[in-house]
Structure 1
């Protein structure tokens, strides 16, 4: 279809696939060796601070830093650092404000509506994308 592609991974998947560098190098090698002509983004979904930094260092072109479980001040501080590191690498950053209900890699969220002021703060930090909690569910649906 000649459309750009996003190859996404979670930190759980990264453990089973040999690490961030293995995934990034595999995707880049396939792109070059197979003569793929469409852009390919290598994305970390719902990453921790440490995971986002490792993914950027390994060559991921996009990371989602999910600091929604931190108090907002800590989420902002860590988000600033991830954005600065990503911009140095030419990568994009998605951040989360408010939590999504459900489970991602063993982390459970209760779900909530994000505070619009907090969303604006994250946007002003230079986040490329914002995942804002709107009472939505991510991952497996809870029973009942």
Structure 2
């Protein structure tokens, strides 16, 4: 039975090695297997994320139990991480045995975000659990935005990290949740990443990493991003597997799910190679 890895070790090794660790959402048993098996096959550390889609579907506890069951049967170097958690969900996750949590207070007024995040950090750190937080606004795909209003403010980031003690900071630099089809590309603001990294000194996280070009990924890593959250690209791969089977006529659901899983494994392994964490599971184990 394989236990969870130390998330701080995974991120610190990524920082030292100049690569990033991927964090991906599972949605059912087959997608959980896809992420875990991809990590095994590519010898990659991985954050398995209980995210915003699965929590309404099955709840934090059932999602954790499913993920742990699949992961413990593997040889993967994994962390089970709560993504975009509310206060209650973060507290529940810590009680359940998550070893990494993200408290999302980005929707709150700045001072309130600092105050509540600081309380989360105090509780989590007392139990040895690192905390990720978010500063700035990350729009959903298709939303019309003035990007300057959405970027994470450098001075606010400096103060937020100093006053909360968070371990990792998710920032907004021109990314979206989801993939925008058929729209002109807007490059992410690499200079803003460099400025936030210099101001805070902690590892940074990019949510909404689906759809980024390889050049953007490599530049973001060099600028200080050591965790990428990606979901949409992998869900699309799974969906294409389902559709390819059902396009042949009536088929068993299990056959379609197996094809979706196979395609999601390939897509996840490609992310792991792109982020530079393929082949790095041993270093996470040795940390």
* Structure-1-length-normalised TM-score: 0.78
Aligned position for 1:6: 47
Contact kept, 8 Å, 1:21 with 1:59, in 2: the verdict is no
How does 1:1-144 map onto structure 2 within 5 Å? 1-17=42-58, 19-32=59-72, 34=73, 36-102=74-140, 112-124=150-162, 125-141=164-180
Higher Rg of the two aligned structures: 2
CA contact (8 A) 1:65 1:82 kept: yes
TM-superposed CA distance for 1:95, in Å, is 0.7
Deviation string for 1:7-56 (max 9, x for gaps)? 11213302323x22223333334444x2x344321112222222222222
Distance in 1, matches of 2:140 and 2:121, equals 26
RCO higher in 1 or 2 (8 Å CA, sep ≥ 6)? Answer: 2
Cα distance in 2 for residues equivalent to 1:142 and 1:2:
32
Structure 2 unmatched ranges of 5 or more: 1-41, 184-287
Flag structure 1 segments of 5+ consecutive residues without an equivalent.
none
Distance 2:50 2:172 in 1: 21
CA RMSD of aligned residues (A): 2.6
Secondary structure in 2 matching 1:122: helix
Question: 2: CA distance between counterparts of 1:70 and 1:37?
Answer: 40
- Once residues 13 and 44 of structure 1 are traced to their aligned partners in structure 2, the CA distance between those partners, rounded to angstroms, is 11
Aligned-partner SS, 1:101: coil
Runs of 4+, deviation exceeding 6 Å = none
Higher helix share: 2
Kindly indicate which of the two structures has a greater share of residues assigned to strand: 1
Distance 1:55 1:131, change over 3 A: same
**Could you state the TM-score of these two structures normalised by the residue count of structure 2?**
0.42
Task: Look up the SS of the partner of 1:40 in the other structure.
Answer: strand
